[in-house]
Amino acid sequence: MKLIKHKLTFLTIALSAITIQGQEITANISGGLQGLNFKTTSGDNKIQAGGRIGFGYTYFINENWGVLSGIDVGYYSNKASLANNTYASYLYDSENDLFEYRVKTTGYKEKSHFYAASIPVLIQYRTKGNTQFYVNAGGRVFFPFSPKAKVTVDQIETTGYYPDFNAELNNMPQHGFTTSNNLSNDADTKLKVAFTLSAETGASFKLSETLRLYTGLYVDYGLNNMQKKNQELANQALVSYDATGSGTIKANGLLNSNEIKDKTNLLAYGAQIKLGFDLSKKSTPIEEEPVQEITVIDEVIVEEVVTEDTIAEKIITEEVVVVDNVIVEDTITEEVVIVKDAITEEVAIVEQPITKTITEEQQKVVEESISYNQIDNTKLSEADKTHLNQVASILQENPDQKIEITGHTCDIGTNEINMKIGFRRAQAVADYIETKGVQPNQIEIKSEGDKHPKYPNTNDTNRQKNRRVSIEIIK
């Protein structure tokens, strides 16, 4: 039971971390030189143009570091040639005698290609800001499929040298030694799974709150030998030996021969473009228009009943306000208003409480911002508390005055995290001044996150000024 509880606790923490830090889905396309890197005993090999497309997933551990994986499918190709030379291998003839099978080629050329699905596991480091620089490093696993090779040779001459007799047999088709012109055939090739060291680097640009464009370079360097000789071609000669004398010969291809030196590893490098979709950032909800509040006066104290003649003498304005069937005919002074009941038409003078107005000097004190040095800090310093003591005192003297407390952040971090931090900062200020006697109905709080910076987020000084709480007098 304890083990299950531990697992559930770990799962909850993991899911919470994923939600907070955010994830990104990427669609990518890459292009460059992609193919097999090998050297021949006598000739040349060139990697040709290729490319790949795929999808990726990035889990951000924090604002700078992340882990990237996904799947890609790519095209890889080569173009190789052999020098006009004689290539030898030891075989057994139809009589089971050992001999040296010699193949003299003129104009040997080979074009090959294959496809591969790859799975990357990369660690990502990125800078902060709307424009970011990134480096991804790690490895990939490649699963090759559909390898093809096309061989063309201007002329092939095959001979057999028997060291026991010190004799070389040629122009004997019945024994498999002949000359063939303009040979062209497909070679059957096979490849092993490849493991590579991989790296990517470049810059990314913020297109919207949820969309980012990545541009950069990539390189994959194979660690293992991908050459997998076709075991059916037991002789591993450059050209098949026809012991029956049918006169048919076929080029086996370089990957099935002994003409490749060292290992055949994968090599790919070029440019890439990615579109990243940030799953952690949600669209900002549309703020509802405030509903106009209607204050109902439940009780009216009648101080003095006057006549209609008296009302006529004291009328100053012609504004009429109806509150619970009471018609306010006119304001006589700041302290007294004349009212008339809408049903009984009784007229009375009602005491009007004096509304105290906050001064400009007090407004400046109240609306002084509170700044934060650290990115995710929401705690109040002693200096902040001293200032807020003054704010609380002013609001206590003006109990009808309402304020709006707004939390702000700089541009570092995701939109969702910044909105949460801004709200926590505003809430911390509201909680403190309430402990100093300010009524909750005098306070409205909200968060703007990084949407309304006071200064451009171009350096640390400006970012510190943007990490703030602002207080605004509601008129």
Give the distance between the most distant pair of CA atoms in the chain: 150
pLDDT in tens, 126-173: 999 899 999 999 999 999 999 999 999 999 999 999 988 888 888 888
What's the number of CA atoms in the CB half-sphere (13 Å) around residue 282? Answer: 9
pLDDT in tens, 384-405: 999 999 999 999 999 989 999 9
What confidence category does residue 90 fall into, taking pLDDT thresholds of 50, 70 and 90?
confident
pLDDT in tens, 366-385: 888 898 888 888 889 999 99
- Strand locations in 306-401, DSSP E? 321-323, 326-331, 336-341, 347-351, 370-371
Q: Which two tokens stand for residue 355?
A: 């509304």
**DSSP state, 289?**
P
Tell me which of 427 and 95 has the higher pLDDT.
427
For residue 407, give the 3-state DSSP assignment.
Answer: strand
* Nearest alpha carbon to residue 189 among 395, 38, 392: 38
The pLDDT value recorded for residue 188 is 86
The pLDDT value recorded for residue 281 is 59
**In angstroms, rounded to a whole number, what is the distance separating the alpha carbons of residues 93 and 207?**
70
Evaluate if residue 177 carries a pLDDT over 70: yes
CA 152 to each of CA 50, 109, 218, 274: distance values in angstroms, whole numbers, following the listed order: 22, 5, 33, 39
pLDDT in tens, 190-220: 999 999 999 999 999 999 989 999 999 999 9
The total of other beta-carbon atoms located within 10 Å of residue 421's CB is: 24
Is 360-474 CATH 3.30.1330.60?
yes
**In angstroms, rounded to a whole number, what is the distance separating the alpha carbons of residues 169 and 95?**
15
The total of other beta-carbon atoms located within 10 Å of residue 379's CB is: 10
The pLDDT value recorded for residue 355 is 55
The pLDDT value recorded for residue 98 is 86
* Nearest alpha carbon to residue 376 among 254, 258, 463: 463
* Lowest mean pLDDT segment, chosen from 8-22, 30-44, 170-184, 330-344: 8-22
Exposure string of 17-56, with b = 16+ CB inside 10 Å and e = fewer, is eeeebbebebebebbbebbbbbebeebebebeebbbebeb
In whole angstroms, how large is the CA radius of gyration of the chain? 42
* Nearest alpha carbon to residue 367 among 324, 432, 429, 414: 429
pLDDT in tens, 276-319: 998 875 544 444 444 444 444 444 444 444 444 444 444 334 44
∠ CA 177-182-184 to the nearest 5 degrees?
Answer: 95
The partner residues of 115 in beta bridges, in order of sequence, read 75, 145
Q: Which two tokens stand for residue 255?
A: 């990957």
**In angstroms, rounded to a whole number, what is the distance separating the alpha carbons of residues 407 and 426?**
5
Fold: same for 21-77+113-147+191-278 and 360-474: no
* Nearest alpha carbon to residue 330 among 322, 321, 338, 341: 338
pLDDT in tens, 223-262: 999 998 765 554 578 888 877 766 678 888 898 888 888 8
**Per-domain boundaries in the chain:** 21-77+113-147+191-278, 302-351, 360-474
- For helices 382-397 and 415-435, give the axis angle rounded to 10 degrees: 60
For residue 9, give the 3-state DSSP assignment.
Answer: helix
Exposure string of 319-344, with b = 16+ CB inside 10 Å and e = fewer, is eeeeeeebbbbbbbeeeebbbbeeee
**In angstroms, rounded to a whole number, what is the distance separating the alpha carbons of residues 305 and 327?**
15
**In angstroms, rounded to a whole number, what is the distance separating the alpha carbons of residues 103 and 205?**
57
- Strand locations in 41-64, DSSP E? 43-47, 49-60
CA 182 to each of CA 253, 287, 416, 423, 436: distance values in angstroms, whole numbers, following the listed order: 16, 77, 68, 79, 99
Q: Is the pTM of this model over 0.85?
A: no
What is the residue type of 467?
R
Evaluate if residue 359 carries a pLDDT over 70: yes
Evaluate if residue 106 carries a pLDDT over 50: yes
Under CATH, what is the fold of the domain 21-77+113-147+191-278?
Porin (2.40.160)
Evaluate if residue 1 carries a pLDDT over 80: no
Per-chain mean pLDDT for the chain: 82
